[in-house]
Amino acid sequence: MIAQPIQTPAGWRRRERIRESLFKVIGVSVLLFAMMALTALLVNILLDGFQRLGFDFLNNYASRRAAQAGVKAALVGSLWMAVLTAMIAVPIGIGAALYLEEFSRKGGWARFIEINIANLAGVPSVIYGLLGLQVFVRVFGFGESLLAGACTLALLVLPVIITAAREALRTVPQNIREGSLALGATGWQTVRFSVLPVAFPSMLTGVILALSRAVGETAPLIVVGAAAYIASLPSGALSSYTVLPIQIYDWVSRPQHTFHQNAAAAIIVLLVMLLSLNAIAIWLRNRFQKRLAI
């Protein structure tokens, strides 16, 4: 046995303090590195794309002439896509979470569903595209439409929404449910008037994350037939469409540098759109939380 040097409490404390400050340095430098990468990326894109931004860029359709090209169809398509996806995914996702947390018996069946949801979260997005192509585009006969794309994206983001909604439901104190039931409320009334209002704000967080992901997806939409060029706006859920990430993908792969500037500008538009979606959702969350506090 090797004799360990006996340490005085003071020496031990000093060593631990050095360790702690070392860990701090490592932590901060990792953070700085990540931030620097992000900042460099943003600055690069802003410098490249800023000059192309303007009303015309938002109000023109894509074009072979880079200077006249804009993101109108892509921007409106992305908005449609976000709204449609949310309309499909949010009710189903929250409903599924409510069932799993509030109504189902904890047993084999619930665990089976749980495992499947966890697995779905790990499936690459192109696979969802292939599924959507067969199921929504062909079998359901939606064609290469906004609706088919939105259904595909809804499937893609469901695991995120369900998981977040379940976490939210778990944070609702049990005595709220018991109080409600004790007053004679049915299971549904308890969920509807006592549990959901408390859980809703944090459910929204999951919805935000899910929608941000949906708005940024390219691969599954290319598979389900999103156009890369279209010079008209969708007239309904069954129209052809394009979205911002596909427009960016097209412009980035062009040989001409002017198209790369367009891509940078479109990335800024996409970022602003994502940030404002998030801002709306955060604002909504805060409103609900405030109301609950009263």
Site for other proteins, rule CB under 8 A: 61-64, 72, 76, 79-80, 83, 87, 137-138, 143-144, 222-223, 225-235, 239-240, 242, 250, 252-257, 260, 288, 291
Torsion angle of the four alpha carbons 161, 154, 133, 115, in this order, in degrees rounded to the nearest 10: 20
| Closest approach of other proteins to the CB of residue 184, in Å | 22
| Closest approach of other proteins to the CB of residue 65, in Å | 9
For residues 171 and 106, the answer to whether their CB atoms sit within 8 Å is no
Q: Which residue, 132 or 159, has its beta carbon nearer to other proteins?
A: 132
Q: Which residue, 100 or 210, has its beta carbon nearer to other proteins?
A: 210
| Closest approach of other proteins to the CB of residue 147, in Å | 15
| Closest approach of other proteins to the CB of residue 4, in Å | 52
| Closest approach of other proteins to the CB of residue 10, in Å | 56
Q: Which residue, 197 or 216, has its beta carbon nearer to other proteins?
A: 197
Q: Which residue, 117 or 243, has its beta carbon nearer to other proteins?
A: 243
Count other Cβ atoms within 10 Å, centred on residue 73.
24
For residues 82 and 211, the answer to whether their CB atoms sit within 8 Å is yes
Q: What letter represents residue 237's amino acid? A: A
Q: Which residue, 174 or 235, has its beta carbon nearer to other proteins?
A: 235
Q: Which residue, 271 or 284, has its beta carbon nearer to other proteins?
A: 284
Distances (CA, A) of 204 to 122, 173, 278: 22, 19, 10
User: What is the CB-side half-sphere exposure of residue 187 using CA atoms within 13 A?
Assistant: 6
| Closest approach of other proteins to the CB of residue 146, in Å | 11
Cβ contacts of 273 within 8 Å, gap of 6 or more: 75, 78, 79, 215, 244
Q: Which residue, 12 or 283, has its beta carbon nearer to other proteins?
A: 283
Q: What letter represents residue 167's amino acid? A: E
Distances (CA, A) of 9 to 6, 18, 115, 285: 10, 14, 49, 49
Q: Which two tokens stand for residue 85?
A: 């996806």
| Closest approach of other proteins to the CB of residue 188, in Å | 16
Compute the distance between CA of residue 48 and CA of residue 38 in angstroms, rounded to an integer: 15
